[in-house]
Amino acid sequence: MTMRFKLKLFVLLGSLLCLHTSQDFYPGSAEHRCFCQVTGHLDDCTCDVETIDTFNNNHLFPKLQELLKMDYFRFYKVNLNKPCPFWTDSSHCGLRDCAVKPCKPNEVPDGLKSASYKYTEDASRELEECEKLEQLGAVDSSLSEETRQVLLEWSRHDDEADRFCESDDEESPDSQYVDLLLNPERFTGYKGPEAWQIWNSIYEENCFKPCTVKRPLNPLTSYRGEDEGKTFYRWLEGLCVEKRAFFRLISGLHASINIHLSARYLLDDNWYDKKWGHNITEFQQRFDAELTKSEGPKRLRNLYFLYLIELRALSKVLPFFERRSFQLYTGQSAQDQRAKDLLLELLQLADSFPLHFDENSLFAGDREEATKLKEDFKLHFRNISRIMDCVGCFKCRLWGKLQTQGLGTALKILFSEKQIQALPESGHLRLGFQLTRQEIVALFNAFGRISTSIKELETFRKLLSKIK
């Protein structure tokens, strides 16, 4: 029995079970209020929640967690000292749990302390020659040095044009390696008006939302008007599928982050120990239908939409990583080979998913209009990636920057299918489609966060079912 058949069979049985058990829920139960709408098919998709739960929790999640523990993926280089480009308030969180512990030089594998395009040991030795001679010389060996430099700048410009987010300058003295396993995403105590300002700036200015539709400054409080909570999402109905998708991606990312904070909450802090765990009350404040005026379950459905988008990107990028010339280079040959083998297993599993999101439904209208819409899409997302430099909590900033870069990389992949398919098997590492190591690390760690959120929902369902 194939995995695809098993998943379809599970969905059918799950749907029948859902129809039977939904009548048994007490209408006011905590579980029902949080998950009453988180079932069945997702808008603008052919997939359903039950298929994703089974695929992620039983098949993909364990492999992904194993991969993210490997050296290539656990070290991320980031600049946490960039000033906020949108407002002058430069205050930072003074809470001790907001701090990020950067790596010491001897803690980072030697193979990672190199340019972001150095995929293999051979490429590390020959990168400079490859860039100056092979790439530019391959175009025309008679070109002047000035012309070659212009072509190189064009190549860099084209790469920047393909990106959906702003990336840190890895050569900056302010950029440091961080061990993601030693700086986990969790609730730090960073909240209140400063934290709300970040998300309100994102929603109000970068999600194609009409100015007439207002979102409350504090999303955890009730709406002023009796029907405001019920009508908040109605403005989406008048938008094109691309703008709806954009909002749902950001909402899904927001929901995922809130799930992480609720699942790794500081429950007890004393002189000898700290206890982190699931805070049911915090989860309910963010996702209970009654407490959020029906908005919470919609946020969770947007999380599943985000999962489908990033999963589709992983399936699309498989040919890029399948090339013999590509290696996950840290300088530790045995671990590097194991990392690539595990990576390919994961990507092949992602590719086997039976109900992928159809990205061809996006930007499929009039060519001129679609091109402008795609550029607006990029501009809005780049703005959001820049807003992450305004986050006052450094640990929140770290994970915010990583997850926006990961989503931006997924979008870059989705709209680069032809370039990926045209990649040569070997050589010319920087011609055509390319990913830096930072983009690769962000892509898989960001999806790891989404995958973890889906898994944590299973835990919260069980915890809420015990509340009468």
**DSSP per-residue string spanning 265-333:** EEEEE-SS-EEEE--HHHHHHHH-TTTTTTHHHHHHHHHHHHHHHHHHHHHHTHHHHHSTT----SS-H
Helix 280-287 to helix 437-465 angle, to the nearest 10 degrees?
100
Domain assignment present for residue 21? The answer is no
Which residues make Cβ contacts (< 8 Å) with residue 467, sequence separation at least 6?
29, 30, 31, 280
* CB-based contacts of 203-208 (< 8 A; 24+ apart in sequence): 203/250, 205/383, 206/250, 206/380, 206/381, 206/383, 206/384, 206/387, 207/246, 207/247, 207/250, 207/380, 208/239, 208/243, 208/246, 208/247, 208/376, 208/380
pLDDT, tens digit only, all 468 positions of the chain: 555 555 545 444 444 434 333 334 335 688 888 887 888 888 878 888 999 999 999 999 999 999 999 999 999 999 999 988 888 765 566 678 889 999 998 999 988 876 444 444 444 444 444 444 444 444 444 444 554 454 444 444 445 666 777 777 777 788 899 999 999 999 988 887 788 888 888 887 777 766 666 655 555 554 444 455 455 566 667 677 888 888 899 999 999 999 999 999 988 887 778 889 999 999 999 999 988 888 899 999 999 999 999 999 999 999 999 988 888 889 899 999 999 999 999 999 999 999 898 887 777 777 787 788 888 888 888 999 999 999 999 999 999 999 999 999 999 998 888 888 887 765 544 557 889 899 999 999 999 999 999 999 999 999 999 886
Q: Does some domain include residue 24? A: no
Residue-range definition of the domain harbouring residue 73: 30-110+174-207+230-465
Which entry of 47, 93, 130, 396 is annotated as an active-site residue? 396
Contact criterion met (CB below 8 Å) for 245 and 308: no
Question: Model-level pTM?
Answer: 0.84
In a domain, 127, yes or no: no
Report if residue 88 sits inside a domain. yes
Number of domains in the chain: 1
For residue 66 the two structure tokens come to: 């194993």
Cα–Cα dist 75/128, whole Å = 24
Name the catalytic one among 103, 165, 390, 393: 393
Q: Is residue 20 in some structural domain?
A: no
Calpha distance 411→380 (Å, rounded): 13
How much is the pLDDT for 424?
74
Q: What pLDDT is recorded for position 163?
A: 73
Binding site residue list for FAD: 186, 188, 199, 251, 254, 286
Contact 320, 433 (CB under 8 A): yes
- Enter the tokens of residue 190: 């960073």
> Which residues are part of a known binding site?
186, 188, 199, 251, 254, 286
- For residue 205, what pLDDT is reported? 76
130 located within any domain: no
H helix count then E strand count, the chain: 19, 4
Radius of gyration (C-alpha) of the chain in whole angstroms: 23
Residue 209's pLDDT is 66
Check residue 376 and give its pLDDT.
82
Report yes or no on 225 lying in a domain: no
Token pair belonging to 284: 């309910």
Measure the CA–CA gap between 252 and 407, rounded to whole angstroms: 11
Decide if 396 is inside a domain: yes
89 three-class SS: coil
Task: Give which of 289, 269, 259, 299 is closest to 457, Cα–Cα.
Answer: 259
**Residue 396 annotated in active site:** yes
Distance CA 450, CA 455 (A): 9
Contact 77, 105 (CB under 8 A): no
**286, burial (CB in 10 Å: exposed 0-12, middle 13-18, buried 19+):** buried
